Structure 1
Amino acid sequence: MFQHRSLFHLFVLLFILTLIPCTNISAETPSPLKPDTPYTAKKSEPVTHDVEFSIIVTPPYHCKSLKVWVPVPQSDAVQEIEDSHFTTFPVNVNPQISSEPVYGNRFAYFEFHNPHGAQIITHRFQAKAWNLNWQLEPETVETVSNWPDQFSLYLTPQNIQDQQQFQQVLKQIGKETQSKSPGLIQAMNWIDQNLTYDHINASLQADANHALSQRRGHCSDYHGLCATMGRAMGYPTRVTYGLGLYPKNSPSHCKLEAFLPPYGWVSFDISETQKLVKAIQSSSDLTTQQKQNFTTAARQRLRSGFRENSWLLLTKGTDYELAPPASKPVRIIRTAYVEADGIALPEPDPANINKREFSWMTSHRYTADKAFKKPFKDLSTLNSD
């Protein structure tokens, strides 16, 4: 008798449950918008790099206090850092490792007292990196009318000196965007069409004013201007700086990241794509049709979001205090920041063929566990079908 009553109550409960509307919480409740959302790119072709990176600093004569901040790469969802170790020569100095509170960038801080001659700081570590493909489809990017307060850092444009010119450019981009989405893609197109890569006339500071007025510059000028354009259009953006993990005169390289729901932070490289397309168009080994196919493929890869397995992220963001604080905030950090008796030493630019003097310089050696292709040099990495 007891068993029959239990079965009856069970059937009644099941019947009542069928009358209650079914709610799919995961489908109807969107994921919260957070700047610290992990990268969502598809990872492929991992490469492990053994890195030996040195910074050789030449302090001024009779310098009393030499201070050096070196960015420390961090592990996240798309790169893994192990066996990090610093040494100095000829003076032994143990670094202070700290994180600045704005973007969470980590730095190794060295202080040399009454240094005599050049000081060498060497960072040895192992880095595992992947090719990252976001497979972004512009028409699926969601519009956000009210961003959470945590995104305010990424939505404030750099102060533009020539506002009239800037607004004219935004208006031009807006016209191109009427039938296309998102507007950030049109901003990248405008920069590609209007800026010229220049090893000499560059700010080295992700300066939107330099890029807008000169229409020339390094990767940081390209991406600094695009970041400011994106923010003016309502897209959270940031400049990211890192290392190219293969021999090159200037080891640092920057990229643009934009937070585009539902993809989260997506990485774009406008300057390297432009240089690749220029090499394709000037090649004497390709037919006209091949040039067209490779150009289309390169620009499509740019728009869909891509980061290579030979690039390592060091810092995110612009305009922040170092940790521990320097004499003033920094705009960006490429490979190091150096002060002698409270005065910043000149930023070296080894890509500038006219420059012959350096207050500090980098030396680097990378050993990969396997051969890898350079996506902005090797056309076989492009799907040009």
Structure 2
Amino acid sequence: MTNTNRRNILKLALTAAALPALPGLLRAAPGTPEFSPQPNDWRSFELRTQVRLAPQGATQIWLPVPSVETDYQRTLDHAFTGNATEAALVTDPATGAQMLHARFDPSVSEPVVELVSRFQTRNRTVDWNRTSDVQEDPAVLEAALNGSSLKPLDGVVLERAREITQGAGTDREKVAAIYAWIVNHCYRNMDVPGCGPGDIQATLTTAGLGGKCADLNGLFVGLARASGVPARDIYGVRVAPSAFGYKQLGANSPDVTGAQHCRAEVWLSGLGWVAMDPADVLKVMRAETDNWIKDPAHPLVAPVNAALFGNWEGNWVAYNAASDVTLPGAPADAALPFLMYPQGLNAKGRLNELDAKAFTYEMTAQEI
């Protein structure tokens, strides 16, 4: 990359950082509100996950549970029913990820479990002009600087991070440069199953900068960490349509079985944890219209590009921010790089979480 290109990317990134929204850039469809999440009241939702399996010997199920308590999300309650031999809400002690663990003896004729979670969410916004003395546990920030199984922070990741952030003096400038680089150089690969594997080294090399949210926001997080900025993925699921008319930025029916989405956040001094979602910018560019939009300055994309640098819409619920999750009761080799989908294990082996028909689970959401 030439010095001129680096300066151009950094200039675009700093502009995005200074302007959470771009006034005057309207959607192509007349009368559709501009994408610009604003502070709002709490909204209450119910998320229902039901698993119903054919008998196949001893069976275990793990269902991720919304368990993030912040100023943009809070839990009301969880309940579960079914015919499990044993079932309980459990926590992975190493990562804090919470889940429902259900175990079925071979004698159970048709394993069934249903988890109902009720919670509240609201839009998440940042005021770039206001700072405070907000603090975080040093251990949490240290964890947000470490690599993981799919986020190595050396080799090609470190090289690319140094290249992208050259000339950036502050953490905010580094984050802005990385965000702009993701939007300008990566793309949403529609052929990748689910949310993608999240292997950021592969995204930079064999995958050719293409992927889904776990790949693209995962790459953003990895590049930030390699640049010395605490960052983390947050794994969850969309639960409601976007209030701004973007079909790709919301759940457009009560059936949210395939609506999982990984977001990201970074820690900036004076601001605390700040929302980020360059993957959703790329999703709008690739899939919001029949034509692939390749210019982030396009009127349909520009408001989303500006807003998702620091803000996100509260039509999504977070499960956890955990990497390398251990499933209680599972063999050691069943550890997961992240927990965002239902997981299952029976006499035939691990169930495919990306095949809801074969796994036979359904997820529904409603506002209450």
TM-score (norm 2): 0.71
User: Could you tell me how far apart the structure 2 residues matched to 1:362 and 1:331 are?
Assistant: 21
Asked whether the 8 Å contact 1:100–1:321 carries over to 2, the reply is yes
Percent identity between the aligned chains? 17
Instruction: Report the CA distance between 1:295 and its aligned residue.
Output: 3.6
Partner of 1:32: none
Secondary structure of the 2:123 match is strand
Partner of 2:66: 73
Larger Rg: 1
User: Is the counterpart of residue 338 in structure 1 residue 329 in structure 2?
Assistant: no
Partner of 1:236: 230
Partner of 2:311: 306
Change (3 A) 1:316 1:342: farther
Q: Which of 268, 272, 292 pairs up with 2:276?
A: 268
- Which whole-Å deviations, capped at 9, do the CAs of 1:199-246 have from their partners, x for residues lacking one? 323573322123212121110001111111111101111111111113
Aligned positions, number = 307
User: Could you tell me how far apart the structure 1 residues matched to 2:49 and 2:59 are?
Assistant: 19
Q: Which of 64, 69, 78 pairs up with 1:84?
A: 78
Asked whether the 8 Å contact 2:257–2:362 carries over to 1, the reply is no
Change (3 A) 1:112 1:130: same
User: Is the counterpart of residue 186 in structure 1 residue 185 in structure 2?
Assistant: no
Q: Which of 154, 179, 182 pairs up with 2:144?
A: 154
User: Could you tell me how far apart the structure 2 residues matched to 1:218 and 1:118 are?
Assistant: 34
Asked whether the 8 Å contact 2:325–2:339 carries over to 1, the reply is no
Give the letter aligned to residue 189 of structure 1. Answer: A
Change (3 A) 1:167 1:309: closer
Give the letter aligned to residue 182 of structure 2. Answer: I
Give the letter aligned to residue 324 of structure 2. Answer: D
Give the letter aligned to residue 177 of structure 2. Answer: Q
Gaps of 5+ in 2: 1-36, 240-250
CA-based RMSD of the aligned residues comes to: 3.5
User: Could you tell me how far apart the structure 2 residues matched to 1:311 and 1:111 are?
Assistant: 29
Gaps of 5+ in 1: 1-40, 351-357, 370-385
Partner of 2:365: 366
Asked whether the 8 Å contact 1:327–1:342 carries over to 2, the reply is no
User: Could you tell me how far apart the structure 2 residues matched to 1:278 and 1:198 are?
Assistant: 8
Asked whether the 8 Å contact 2:341–2:353 carries over to 1, the reply is no
1:14-93 mapped onto 2 (5 Å cutoff): 43-58=39-54, 61=56, 63=57, 65-74=58-67, 76-77=69-70, 78-88=72-82, 91-93=83-85
- Which whole-Å deviations, capped at 9, do the CAs of 1:25-62 have from their partners, x for residues lacking one? xxxxxxxxxxxxxxxx9841432123322234456x4x
Instruction: Report the CA distance between 1:75 and its aligned residue.
Output: 5.9
Secondary structure of the 2:112 match is strand
Change (3 A) 1:172 1:343: same
User: Could you tell me how far apart the structure 2 residues matched to 1:228 and 1:141 are?
Assistant: 26
User: Could you tell me how far apart the structure 2 residues matched to 1:267 and 1:181 are?
Assistant: 12
Secondary structure of the 1:133 match is coil
User: Is the counterpart of residue 200 in structure 1 residue 194 in structure 2?
Assistant: no
Partner of 1:172: 163
Asked whether the 8 Å contact 1:158–1:228 carries over to 2, the reply is no
Asked whether the 8 Å contact 2:84–2:102 carries over to 1, the reply is no
Asked whether the 8 Å contact 1:158–1:208 carries over to 2, the reply is no
User: Could you tell me how far apart the structure 2 residues matched to 1:73 and 1:320 are?
Assistant: 15
User: Could you tell me how far apart the structure 1 residues matched to 2:355 and 2:184 are?
Assistant: 25
The structure with higher relative contact order (CA 8 Å, sep 6+) is 2
Secondary structure of the 2:122 match is strand
User: Is the counterpart of residue 112 in structure 1 residue 104 in structure 2?
Assistant: yes
Change (3 A) 1:106 1:162: closer
Give the letter aligned to residue 301 of structure 1. Answer: A
Asked whether the 8 Å contact 1:141–1:260 carries over to 2, the reply is no
Change (3 A) 1:180 1:261: closer
User: Could you tell me how far apart the structure 1 residues matched to 2:54 and 2:204 are?
Assistant: 34
User: Is the counterpart of residue 129 in structure 1 residue 134 in structure 2?
Assistant: no
Instruction: Report the CA distance between 1:337 and its aligned residue.
Output: 1.9
Give the letter aligned to residue 70 of structure 1. Answer: L
Give the letter aligned to residue 147 of structure 2. Answer: P
User: Could you tell me how far apart the structure 2 residues matched to 1:178 and 1:282 are?
Assistant: 40
User: Could you tell me how far apart the structure 2 residues matched to 1:281 and 1:183 are?
Assistant: 31
Asked whether the 8 Å contact 2:158–2:227 carries over to 1, the reply is no
Secondary structure of the 1:169 match is helix
1:278-293 mapped onto 2 (5 Å cutoff): 278=286, 292=298
Give the letter aligned to residue 238 of structure 1. Answer: R
User: Could you tell me how far apart the structure 1 residues matched to 2:348 and 2:39 are?
Assistant: 43
Give the letter aligned to residue 340 of structure 2. Answer: R
- Which whole-Å deviations, capped at 9, do the CAs of 1:252-279 have from their partners, x for residues lacking one? 1111122222222222111112222456
Instruction: Report the CA distance between 1:333 and its aligned residue.
Output: 1.0
TM-score (norm 1): 0.68
User: Could you tell me how far apart the structure 1 residues matched to 2:283 and 2:232 are?
Assistant: 22
